[in-house]
Structure 1
């Protein structure tokens, strides 16, 4: 979407917020409900949220109360308020567990998590979601799984199953990226464990080949030749076209995203990551802090003879003289 369109949308939203008025106290339940429906039809979701909330608070036991609660979930979701949509869905499920449309609340809760981490950059730029924190993806998968297990014949179940396949592939690809992160930092035990986890838990996903390649690379670096050979034979038999194989011989592990990343992502994602990265004083993201801690713990547990040496920290004078006087 062009920048001028984004600015126009922001300006219109601001004007709508500034021009909103408190609803007339004399309005009846049906009048407020009809007004909310008109806002939904006009895609004025912020105004619809206001009216649906007013309807629920003024007439909590009215004939439109339960329907208003359901439509409030949808209005929050369309208004890019996923946390509010999840909270509204949870509240409806808790208050009306036997409602004939409670499956819709389960479905919308999963949808809210599905789009929770998709901010403005993820919506309009081709960023790789397998490199992002998978917390929302895991929540969404679990919530869709609840829908499918509780209401297998729901009209939303088929769409939920398809989204679960996508989310499972995304989670597997994320673990492959984490395994590659370990490899680059010499945490070979962690890399091998992550590869085995992918193979054991994400069968029938495209990342199983990446998990096997992680195991081959990590076990080779750890001098565990029998395990490396077993993983290599499995990789050759099941994924002969994997990028880490050259004419059947293992070349080196290829990072998953490098095989099919689009040129625009390759040109922009690094710069965007720098812009969006938190200050260094914050210790980067929680995921990166956990990975670094796991790496340090696993490195300390390795036998000294196979532990990759760490480079000593160079002094300012050493850097200034290019090491000639060290």
Structure 2
């Protein structure tokens, strides 16, 4: 009986072992097939995952600063700052890194990247002391992409809107003064665009269309450098279509506000060539516009 149990037990254990061995063998044969083309499942089971190693936030941040300041490698620095946010998304280091990512993008000429990161910063941290700077980076990125006056000025309009946002939200910040100066530069660009179009129409002898463009400069962009030429061009266009009263007024207002301007000399000579003198009509839209602005 004992021998029989032993024998029976032997065969029982051996059968289970054979079954297990067959199952393992089948799995080993099947693994390479299942992983065909992308590495076997066996490799995936046995491989170590070295793709993610968490590092201290300050270490990654300082590496980003080094790459940015010492190596001048803005793209590499940006990757470090983004890594801080990825590994430590709710830390104070992540907040700092987001702002530095915007700055590095700006310095590297990646203006869209800067706008994206800075916008995210302002959205997530509106009460931060650095929110004013983030908003300024958005505006500066638009401003630095302003095209020349021969092209569409949609980017200029965006720059002005963003710069005005800096002044409106952070009027006492150090960035408000710079933003105001940039606003004037952008407005000068818009005035230049109007002058370009006005001169184009004048060359085509479409004086009415030209006058409308010069009028825009006089009424909306009086503080730009283009207003002097605009007044001369108005004198020129009005003389060309025989509305001499407005031509005289344009010349007179030009002489009153910019007596040393070369444009006034040209306007004066043009009016004189028609046997007239510069003379301001107080009821003219030109005169009213300048008086309204306290310049007439």
Fold shared, TM-score > 0.5 on shorter chain: yes
Greater mean deviation of Cα atoms: 44-53 or 136-145 = 136-145
Instruction: Specify which structure has the higher proportion of helix.
Output: 2
- Taking a change above 3 Å as real, the CA distance of residues 134 and 71 of structure 1, as seen in their structure-2 partners, is same
Cα distance in 2 for partners of 1:94, 1:224 equals 55
Look up the SS of the partner of 2:92 in the other structure.
coil
1:250 to 247, 254, 270: 270
For residue 184 of structure 1, what is the aligned residue in structure 2?
203
Residues 1:99 and 1:74: Cα distance change in structure 2 (over 3 Å): same
- In the alignment, is residue 139 of structure 1 matched against residue 158 of structure 2? yes
Residue 58 (structure 2) aligned to one of 13, 26, 30: 30
Tell me the residue number matched to 1:60: 89
Relative distance call for 1:239 and 1:117 in structure 2 (3 A) is closer
Following superposition, the deviation at residue 140 of structure 1 comes to 1.8
TM-score (norm 2): 0.67
Q: CA deviation at 1:41?
A: 1.6
Structure 2 partner of 1:106: 135
What is the Cα deviation at residue 69 of structure 1? Answer: 0.8
When structure 1 is superposed on structure 2, of 44-53 and 165-174 the one drifting more is 165-174
Question: Is 1:201 equivalent to 2:220 in the alignment?
Answer: yes
2:115 is aligned to 86
Q: Give the root-mean-square deviation of aligned CA atoms.
A: 2.3
CA contact (8 A) 1:86 1:109 kept: yes
1:26 and 1:247 map into 2 onto residues whose CA distance is 72
Q: Which has the larger radius of gyration?
A: 2
The CA deviation string for residues 113-165 of structure 1, in whole angstroms up to 9 with x for no partner, is 111247xxxxxxxxxx4444333233222212111121111122222222222
CA distance in 1, matches of 2:224, 2:238: 22
CA–CA distance in 1 between the matches of 2:176 and 2:164?
9
For the residue of structure 2 that corresponds to 1:181, the secondary structure is helix
Question: What secondary structure is seen at the aligned counterpart in 2 of 1:60?
Answer: coil
**Which of structures 1 and 2 has the larger relative contact order (alpha carbons within 8 angstroms, sep 6+)?**
1
Task: Figure out how many residues of one structure are paired with residues of the other and give that number.
Answer: 220
1:212 aligns with 2:212: no
SS of the residue corresponding to residue 172 of structure 2 reads coil
CA distance 1:117–1:164, shift in 2 (3 Å): closer
Q: Segments of 4+ in structure 1 off by > 3 A?
A: 129-133, 243-247
Question: For 1:214 and 1:130, how far apart are their aligned partners in 2?
Answer: 18
* Cα distance in 2 for residues equivalent to 1:93 and 1:247: 50
- For each residue in 1:18-44, what CA deviation from the matched residue of structure 2 results, as whole angstroms up to 9, or x when unmatched? xxxx98633232221121111122221
